[in-house]
Structure 1
Amino acid sequence: MADFDLEALSLTELRKLHKDIAKSISTYEDRQKAEARAKVEAFAKDLGYSLAELMGEDAKPKRAPAPAKYRHPENPALTWSGRGRKPLWFVEALDAGKAAEDMKIG
């Protein structure tokens, strides 16, 4: 382990060290999880199963994307389902005086 005086470091150096430590912790945890997953997958395979079969991941239904509810007034290729964050084109149209109802599909 490195032996250095933290008190001698500048604020910039301390922030960089903090960022590097956080990144190292994150990558360490990711590596540990990957190793654990590989061990569990190997164990499941030895028993004749896939990990997805044992975890029931195959049985989970896949959600279909939400249908589009709004369309860009000038570019019909741009749509939005009305869920999540508003797209920039939608916000700009609202700021320009358009109403959400004006962009509603059907």
Structure 2
Amino acid sequence: MNIDLNTMSHKDLEKLLADVKSAMKNAQTRDLREARKAAEKAAAEFGFSLDELSGSAGTKKSGKAKRPSEPKYANPNDPSQTWTGKGRQPKWYVEAIESGKTPAALEI
């Protein structure tokens, strides 16, 4: 299939591009489906399902979403800046401790 792109109009090139994008999307979907079937077949040969191999089978979700931790410390100069006490210490906290304040003095 030889197409002379130099002789095609802008409109024809746009249509060709749209057709190619659509064909690529269809080919990717088809390849994905075939790969999944092949993986399921290979897993079945060993007595497993694909979900068991991927680790998604047998996992239970508690249904409870994790709540963010409550702030424990506040910046005395800007109370809108808070820190839970977990993770990396904010710059304002480090500076306050270095200036002689105690962690208890920064608690909310």
TM-score normalised by length of structure 1: 0.52
Unaligned 5+ residue runs, structure 1?
65-106
In structure 2, the CA distance between the partners of 1:12 and 1:60, relative to structure 1 (3 Å rule), is farther
Of all paired residues, the percent bearing the same amino acid is 32
- Residue number in structure 1 paired with 2:8: 9
- Residue number in structure 1 paired with 2:20: 21
Write out per-residue CA displacement over residues 21-79 of structure 1, whole angstroms, 9 at most, x where no aligned residue.
11111111221111111111001111111101111112163868xxxxxxxxxxxxxxx
- Residue number in structure 2 paired with 1:54: 53
Unaligned 5+ residue runs, structure 2?
65-108
For residues 31 and 25 of structure 1, what CA distance do their matches in structure 2 show? 10
Q: Which has the larger radius of gyration?
A: 2
In structure 2, the CA distance between the partners of 1:63 and 1:24, relative to structure 1 (3 Å rule), is farther
Q: In the comparison of the two structures, how many residue pairs are matched?
A: 63
For residues 8 and 60 of structure 1, what CA distance do their matches in structure 2 show? 60
In structure 2, the CA distance between the partners of 1:39 and 1:62, relative to structure 1 (3 Å rule), is farther
For residues 3 and 63 of structure 2, what CA distance do their matches in structure 1 show? 52
- Residue number in structure 2 paired with 1:35: 34
For residues 22 and 63 of structure 2, what CA distance do their matches in structure 1 show? 33
For residues 62 and 42 of structure 2, what CA distance do their matches in structure 1 show? 27
